[in-house]
Amino acid sequence: MKANIFIEKVSDSALEAIHGMGYRVTRLHIPEADNLVITVYQGKMYAFKGCTPSKKAESAGTVEVPDTLVTDILKHIEAQKTFERTIKNFWATAIPATMPQ
């Protein structure tokens, strides 16, 4: 699948963003895969569906991403959502409401 490469400035907090702080990351945007955005930063992968580059993002070309890789990333996103639901359900039933959270 064709991915658009773009470079975007991101911040770890609103305070950093307000003061112009942050760092630049390279991202891939795959519109045909439910607007998938993939970022690899400091050895970790971040992937989100339903995203589009910000208006301030700089275009840096395109690249072909193997369909199997896109499929695996989309499966990973769904598995993460399932895991988070399972943990939330466990937490809601196993931890008494009176305990500090």
* pLDDT band at 71; cut points 50, 70, 90: very high
- Percent pLDDT > 70 in the chain is 94
Q: What is the mean pLDDT of residues 10-23?
A: 90
Q: What pLDDT, on the 0 to 100 scale, is given for residue 100?
A: 61
Residue ranges covered by each domain of the chain: 2-94
DSSP collapsed to 3 states, the chain: CEEEEEEEEECCCHHHHHCCCCEEEEEEEECCCCCEEEEEECCEEEEECCCCCCCCCEEEEEEECCHHHHHHHHHHHHHHHHHHHHHHHHHHHHCCCCCCC
Over residues 21-54, the pLDDT tens digits come to 988 999 999 999 999 999 998 889 999 999 988 8
pLDDT for position 33:
96
What's the predicted TM-score (pTM) here?
A: 0.79
